[in-house]
Structure 1
């Protein structure tokens, strides 16, 4: 090893070997696919794999890397097809008595690969030689390890063959050789060249096998992903003096905190130190036990310096795999430190603050969706999962609780201090209070933009929808899962709104974290992004969360959710049952102070930031009970015969309520509703403006499809504004806008725009109407559609840039042509999707709005888009 190491250092300095006995340069010229790893060798991750490229980087840093040969993807494919490389060519870079190992080198380490095989070249003769050099026990351990590895991975023997091998290496070696000969009916191969050739062939074929292909494709690798192999001279880690192996890194994998972590094990090889056991040592001095720093301080100091140099020059936190041989340190590999989302942010911020990378690069290193791991509780990834079923992860995070089937039970459970998961076939507006009380929600039906999904994300609570493989028996209050497992009300389950898993029992959870590093990263994001991010917030609590996550205002306040509190619901029902406009106005007069108080709270919390309030939208039947007990309670509250109440409720029913009497259609046919809401908004504006910055509310008309609808509503709202100005003696301004949810509104935007200040696209309903898909039912077949390529992605999850996107572009172009300066935004759930934000930014939208807990994701995604755009603009057109 010493001769190869010295020659390679000399080659790097003068670009030629001085020793004419070595033909490494000739090897490279004859076959660049079998390449000695030097500073100048033609090695790339795309041709030789990530491990080979990283080893070259370590060589360039003049670190003590053992002599290593890299085999390209093409070479490995040829070996798998039956070609045998020239053994002399493979062995020429190494000393004649070198012991070798072969390790996989895939393009992405996450794609895996066959296990490493160590100690190639050990045979009977070398066992005798090594026994004299490092002792019989150490030599036997080297040989035994290779025999067992070769037998299992190359000869494909059952590992059970070696179950009875004596733990003493000397005795065990004899037994292992005997077992090999008995199983294979031939002696263990003694020729190092033959051993190496067989190991290479076995690893190449293992990579090309069907099961290996399926496994790596499941990890996101392309079907034709290549595998490189590296043949490396062994630093033994066994023998006289201080010998051993281990790994070192400079950060904590879970938190990203600066902390030397890893383990070291004397008289060991590879990653043995990580397998646990009392003999493994800490690296730094540690009160819990002995350390490498105490045992071999010079070796520890060198390792620490090497790892720090890797961090600085490779611009990444690296884990160093090392071997100590008679006190001398060798680096066998360097791999990117595995990390949680929390650690990834801390690492990126620390690298930027230390001047190793730029702030822009730190931003680009974080996957926006990974922020969900910090903002919500997660299932502990280290514990086994008892999966009952799987649906669509519609709102991230995890929660455990007892099963309840009604909102009333959820509220009662919360009052007792018992966490519960609300289970429904599907949720509706009347389930809002139960969803507030529960720690999570699971539904049989629904998709990414179903009621449960949207409200769950808004509340920041885990939600799993579309769990179609379960049966819900509401009468018996039980769930029947695949395989016949039955859970009843009161039993505990865990839902994972990130993965969509439904798990049995109270699964251990990891708590959400809010590290200072995240705040720093987000401040950098805000400094570069060029599209605003607002939050969808319906209550003061939602608005508080929006402020916490630095939303730049409220882009959608759904006022109907304010009417489901018990003290308001009865009044709302009285209004619905009123026969005349005067009676409706009388009922609404009782709701006015409640609405006004809600808006005052919102304005105060947002402290002068814009608040966009959507006028009443849902069909009236959502506020009415559907079961007999609820109808009876309503009859008592209204002092009406049950038959009259039942008949009236049936009259209000619609075949397709989502396309029926709702939104602006209610505002036109029952104008008293919008008049009351407008008055509440304006009176709240006056009150809130007295206490702080002037409030300029934004009023949004939902479900518009015609210019005349806007004219009618605008006239009445202007009249209410004038009346409030006269009554209060206070001047104020407001902005009127339209929520574009119908294809016709998008196509006629040029007619509508002159009447309003903004158009905000409700992409949930716009997608539903453009596709003719029910957003509540599409989850039942959407996965099959995506798998068969009908849709590239669920259009309710990722904005359809071709179809729905074309409508947005048409509306934006026609709207701004008719009214320059028209404000454009998205307020549907697509607003928090990074791909959808990219579309909005390209289309020139002013802001996106999403659920409060998705605001950080949107802020980071928007910043990354701005950074990418700047990089593209800075690149010379010829280079590009």
Structure 2
């Protein structure tokens, strides 16, 4: 823990720098760095992330005592640079208090602006500035923010509007004005009074007039916001550790609400949705920063081209646009020129797309923040490849810049063009986050969650989203908002999550209480279907058919780069030729797992399978298996052909036989009819197959040992298919895998049956072909005795689903009753069935790989459990020297990128 708790910056000097983000948070580190490279930043100081940890350990009073001297000195530092005094009525200094974690968490924690105001300071500011409207606009904003954040004034019910907003709407209605900025000075003063009364009524506490008390309240509230519900959820979704904490940055206020020569805005050095190398953003004249991201006023575009595109989508003529919605480039050309130069400077300094916040105070430009911008998966790949081509980064950096999980967004469906052409456009909004979304309308975050949990696809419709809506946004297919621009909360968070979003659709009228939305004169109720095109901003009535995404050249280039640096190959888990072809198109280098049991469930096959299960002797079983043989052979032939020239690892029958028989009366009656036997016989056989713990019972190699004819039939089907393909000039490469062994004796027994059957098949076809016999390591004992098993097996495939189950002693089917509690109480950091437990299960895997290689140096090893497509698990496999990871087809690109990153990290 750093002994220094407070770091100052200002006037081109700073005690911190960019590489101190772990201590100063992303915001604090970048504020320091911007000072050092000559970007105009208001002076201030940053309290470290370590203090956040101390706050939760020691509490409010202890942390205030620890910080008191340092904060007082740091405030004096701001006072000297701003030539004003905090709390002084004649020459007042106001400050903002902002959060800043080391990883970007947009909108998840709290900010307070205009801090330091009270009645005396406000009067002094009016005297000094001669601008009473600006002063009381700032004052009412401060009281509202302080009440929300520090005094925790929140609506009691989800249908209720914010108590402060309710007061504002009443005051505006009395005057008959629509926008907050149109309120006069007396009305703004009235808001201050009404807000303070509401605070006293709702919280029982008076609004604090002492600026020092305000400052400590705000600093501690920002620390407290690290553990608010939305921040916790966001960290969970993004994999950000709770122990990191947030820094707090306190800065001199600069004001974008001092009249028509003042403004505030958010901008991006490139398009965060598409990755296009186009400076873009939004600004508001005579406003403060929260106005832009909150979506209360629809902002204007910064660039002329952005403004023209926006007007075209909104159906606004060029003449009307220039007169009423000019871009900053047109309305404030000198400021725009400076802004454009600095954004370019920042991108070249950080070698990445920047997301920046700025304020213009009476013609002077100030930067309040820069950070590497959140972006969609499409933009992520394009920006990485473009920066590589521009010489700003090298190949390895381009690979490391891309987040494996975000590639999933590129593979999401898009609307079918034919279906889209016939669809009815309801309204037009802003294309805030690309993709196609179709679902039933819901209006509240908790409804989105519950509907999603019940199996519904939903589109969340809001007037505007707030950080409290995060869980609902995560559960929804897409988000539609009436207010907000391309930099609103909904837009930024949706892009970060890869969710389709249309924002600022002014043509929709949302009524939360009646749970309806009126679009173009038509009323839609909760549960009605709409479709969103996040790439164009259009909203459609009803459901629209989707199709697979088309991948760009940038994607292929990234995947080719991954192949250049990776050591670990990526295979796929596939049970059908179609899945195999999809995975091969995504670059899979073979199949790491074909589950043969999935092939038995269509009508004809299940009848033969049940006949085999009903048989009372080997002869009866062989007769039924002979019916299954041609089906199995055809399945294997299709998969081997789809993967021609690449290895295909086929697992012999694994699940217990009870999974193939019906357990309900209707199903048993149907089975009895199909089998030509009486119902009682079926019920007796079903009862005889029941086990107390079938996952540890008669399954895996135990089936093949007790019923060797099953192993023989499956081997015959696999090798017959391969022999036929070889005769047709193809290059099949089958691998036969024995599941669930715990001893080498089990493997040897099955291997003998496989080898004997192979001889017969090769003699029948007059063809010899190479194939391998390996095993699935999924029982701890197999991992512990891997050296003896490797003396017989040619390869190991780690079935980490079962290995996790047996190592932890957790039943995968029953964890829902306790796992959420374990995660909540931090007994486990992550679900071990989703992310490989490297400390326990991983050590078994590592030991088995090492032991196996000692006995058989050329032993091939791979992983085929669910972890084979999870990035940190794939990197672990690469680190311990595995040959391949296998995952579902749509996770192949994710695993390829993770494997390349694992090699580079090594």
Same fold (TM over 0.5): yes
* 1:234 corresponds to 2:254: yes
Q: 1:608 Cα deviation (Å)?
A: 0.9
Within 5 Å, give how 1:229-378 maps onto structure 2: 229-232=249-252, 234=254, 238-239=258-259, 242-273=261-292, 275=295, 277=297, 280=300, 283-285=303-305, 286-287=307-308, 288=311, 289=321, 290-324=326-360, 329-376=365-412
| Alignment check: 8 A CA contact 2:264 2:292 kept | yes
| Alignment check: 8 A CA contact 2:115 2:215 kept | no
| Alignment check: 8 A CA contact 2:701 2:741 kept | yes
1:334-375 CA distance string (max 9 Å, x none): 343333344333333333332222332233233323333443
Cα distance in 2 for residues equivalent to 1:213 and 1:670:
57
Q: 1:218 Cα deviation (Å)?
A: 5.3
Deviates more, 1:848-857 or 1:155-164: 155-164
Q: 1:733 Cα deviation (Å)?
A: 1.2
Q: 1:557 Cα deviation (Å)?
A: 0.7
- Equivalent residue for 2:72? 85
Cα distance in 2 for residues equivalent to 1:693 and 1:723:
21
1:159-184 CA distance string (max 9 Å, x none): 47776387443433564677799999
1:808 counterpart SS class: helix
Q: 1:147 Cα deviation (Å)?
A: 2.4
1:416-452 CA distance string (max 9 Å, x none): xxxxxxxxxxxxxxxxxxxxxxxx9xxxxxxxxxxxx
Cα distance in 2 for residues equivalent to 1:536 and 1:47:
43
Tell me how many residue pairs correspond in the alignment: 725
Distance 1:280 1:745, change over 3 A: closer
- Equivalent residue for 1:225? 245
Cα distance in 2 for residues equivalent to 1:342 and 1:824:
33
* 1:147 corresponds to 2:139: yes
- Equivalent residue for 1:702? 739
2:72 counterpart SS class: coil
Cα distance in 2 for residues equivalent to 1:325 and 1:361:
38
| Alignment check: 8 A CA contact 1:119 1:145 kept | no
- Equivalent residue for 1:23? none
- Equivalent residue for 1:432? none
2:280 counterpart SS class: strand
Cα distance in 2 for residues equivalent to 1:95 and 1:729:
96
| TM-score under structure 1 length normalisation | 0.73
Cα distance in 1 for residues equivalent to 2:740 and 2:529:
39
* 1:575 corresponds to 2:569: no
1:92 counterpart SS class: helix
Cα distance in 1 for residues equivalent to 2:805 and 2:818:
15
Distance 1:716 1:58, change over 3 A: same
Question: Which 5+ residue runs of structure 2 have no aligned equivalent?
Answer: 53-62, 85-90, 154-162, 176-181, 201-208, 236-240, 312-320, 414-435, 460-476, 478-526, 531-541
- Equivalent residue for 1:485? none
Distance 1:269 1:769, change over 3 A: closer
| Alignment check: 8 A CA contact 2:254 2:361 kept | no
Within 5 Å, give how 1:639-650 maps onto structure 2: 639-650=676-687
Cα distance in 2 for residues equivalent to 1:721 and 1:260:
65
| Alignment check: 8 A CA contact 1:52 1:230 kept | no
| Alignment check: 8 A CA contact 1:118 1:145 kept | no
- Equivalent residue for 1:94? 82
* 1:560 corresponds to 2:600: no
Cα distance in 2 for residues equivalent to 1:81 and 1:214:
27
| Alignment check: 8 A CA contact 1:238 1:267 kept | yes
1:568 counterpart SS class: helix
Cα distance in 1 for residues equivalent to 2:392 and 2:285:
34
Cα distance in 2 for residues equivalent to 1:174 and 1:747:
76
| Alignment check: 8 A CA contact 1:118 1:146 kept | no
Cα distance in 2 for residues equivalent to 1:388 and 1:123:
43
Please report the RMSD computed on the Cα atoms of aligned residues, expressed in angstroms.
Answer: 4.2
Structure 1 counterpart of 2:629, from 571, 589, 592: 592
- Equivalent residue for 1:877? none
- Equivalent residue for 2:432? none
1:563-585 CA distance string (max 9 Å, x none): 11111111222222334433332
1:367-415 CA distance string (max 9 Å, x none): 32333344346979997456469799999x98469xxxxxxxxxxxxxx
Distance 1:737 1:125, change over 3 A: closer
Cα distance in 1 for residues equivalent to 2:883 and 2:774:
14
Q: 1:331 Cα deviation (Å)?
A: 3.2
- Equivalent residue for 1:819? 856
1:515-543 CA distance string (max 9 Å, x none): 42433333322221211221111111221
Cα distance in 2 for residues equivalent to 1:702 and 1:118:
66
Cα distance in 2 for residues equivalent to 1:623 and 1:330:
69
Structure 2 counterpart of 1:38, from 9, 12, 22: 12
- Equivalent residue for 1:112? 109
Within 5 Å, give how 1:677-696 maps onto structure 2: 677-696=714-733
Distance 1:371 1:507, change over 3 A: farther
Distance 1:202 1:511, change over 3 A: farther
**Larger-gyration structure (1/2):** 1
Distance 1:324 1:814, change over 3 A: closer
Distance 1:590 1:321, change over 3 A: same
Cα distance in 2 for residues equivalent to 1:130 and 1:352:
49
Cα distance in 2 for residues equivalent to 1:794 and 1:665:
29
| Alignment check: 8 A CA contact 2:115 2:211 kept | no
Cα distance in 2 for residues equivalent to 1:863 and 1:224:
27
- Equivalent residue for 2:433? none
2:171 counterpart SS class: coil
| TM-score under structure 2 length normalisation | 0.71
Within 5 Å, give how 1:131-210 maps onto structure 2: 131=130, 139-152=131-144, 159=164, 164=171, 167-172=182-187, 175=190, 197=212, 199-209=214-224
2:575 counterpart SS class: coil
Cα distance in 2 for residues equivalent to 1:184 and 1:788:
34
* 1:68 corresponds to 2:43: yes
1:483-536 CA distance string (max 9 Å, x none): xxxxxxxx9999xxxxxxxxxxx9999997554243333332222121122111
Cα distance in 2 for residues equivalent to 1:646 and 1:568:
21
Distance 1:737 1:298, change over 3 A: same
- Equivalent residue for 1:852? 889
Distance 1:512 1:300, change over 3 A: farther
Cα distance in 2 for residues equivalent to 1:703 and 1:177:
71
Q: 1:612 Cα deviation (Å)?
A: 0.5
Q: 1:692 Cα deviation (Å)?
A: 4.7
| Alignment check: 8 A CA contact 1:534 1:551 kept | yes
Cα distance in 2 for residues equivalent to 1:56 and 1:645:
76
- Equivalent residue for 2:641? 604
| Alignment check: 8 A CA contact 2:5 2:67 kept | no
- Equivalent residue for 1:430? none
| Alignment check: 8 A CA contact 1:282 1:291 kept | yes
- Equivalent residue for 2:31? 55
